[in-house]
Amino acid sequence: MNSTQSSDNGRYAARGVSSSKNEVHAVVDRLDPGLFPGAFCKITEDFLTGNPALCNVSHSDGSGTKSLLAYLHWRETGDASVFRGIAQDSVVMNIDDLLCVGVTGGVVLSSTINRNARNIPGEVLAQLIQGTEDFLEMLRGFGFSVRSCGGETADVGDLTATCTVDSCATAALPRSRVVDASRIRPGLAIVALASFGKCAYETEENSGIASNGLTSARHELLCGYYAEKYPETFDGNTPRELVYCGPHKMSDPLEGSALTVGQALLSPTRTYAPFVLRLLENLPRERVFGLIHCSGGALTKCVRFGKNVHFIKDDLFPVPPVFREIRRASGTSDAEMHRVYNMGQRLEIYVEESDVPAVRQIADSLALESRVIGRTEPSRKPDGSNHVSIRTAEGEEIAY
């Protein structure tokens, strides 16, 4: 086995994207950390009503460059309904972060669509807006109360050649019900939930790609045809050898999967709301030490939570086909793959070993694959700082 240090930023950074966002954290980490420093989301006192028993949580995120894949599909096929999945991506990237601090409803959501009206007409806007409303209705059907409070559609052709789709979600939460990831400590089991497959509340197979790393995934898998035909879909400052440098068209079959390459890249981000609602109904919140949504930073995201922790992830899910193909087509290192992509596991639950069966039983009830992927031990760093060790599905050892 080889030991790899993940100091390089590689192909992802060369495309103008940061997986660690160190420059952002350098600023944000100096700001007021809120009521629960170290929680997954910033939590403030209740400014909405002034109730000392409540706190406020607000989160902003979006679908990122995944909207460009929908744009390519629509331009090639004329099917604007593909943008409904982009609406879901934007909502889930907010809702599932709120879930990680214990929010199980009472959410108001606002959406922002920035578009170039020359390239994004009304039929696309209609699918994005209605897709958002339909997905919120589905969440309410799970028992997660959420309402749209409007949004903004901005025609900003000088800023974007196509469109961006973002959301902001806000909730009030009893302070006593906060799940505080700062409580993550040595001696816990790490249970991961799959991002791939077809769970009980999905109608189609999911590749597991979600909404992180799509800038690289798009360029690594798709071929130069798209650069020539749709130059509005990439940054002209990106080195040309990194622009649509893959072997595939979107209609190509994805090896090892029933999906095409395009379908895999466009798989809507799975929400874990039904699972988290059942988890927090059946397990006392003080026994849930942390919920980590493996979005930006992927399997290394956990390093920002808890103290004096060595996160050991040595029994991961088998790598889903979409990630295998990205790695094969691009030659991207395993260290970068596990820092950029969720690699098939997007929610981590930190509990004591005695609570693992209950967690996995809830996952089974929703046909969600779960796995004990590792554990937490005391930090081995001289300064006691957090660090992550990963053993890949192929047996490579990676240290972060």
What's the pLDDT tens digit per position in 222-275?
A: 999 999 999 999 999 999 999 999 999 999 999 999 999 999 999 999 999 999
pLDDT-derived band of residue 7, with 50, 70 and 90 as boundaries? very low
Nearest C-alpha neighbor of 17 from the set 212, 162, 165, 158: 212
Q: What is the pLDDT of residues 343-384, one digit of tens each?
A: 999 999 999 999 999 999 999 999 999 999 999 999 999 999
For residue 383, the model assigns a pLDDT of 97
DSSP code of 321?
Answer: H
For residue 151, the model assigns a pLDDT of 92
How much is the pTM? 0.93
For residue 9, the model assigns a pLDDT of 55
DSSP code of 74?
Answer: H
pLDDT-derived band of residue 31, with 50, 70 and 90 as boundaries? confident
Residues whose CB is less than 8 angstroms from the CB of residue 325 and which lie 6 or more positions away in sequence, other chains included:
221, 254, 255, 261
For residue 217, the model assigns a pLDDT of 96
Is the per-residue pLDDT at 306 higher than 90? yes
Six-digit token pair at 92? Answer: 């889930």
Ranges of beta strands (E only) in 295-383 are: 309-313, 345-351, 370-378
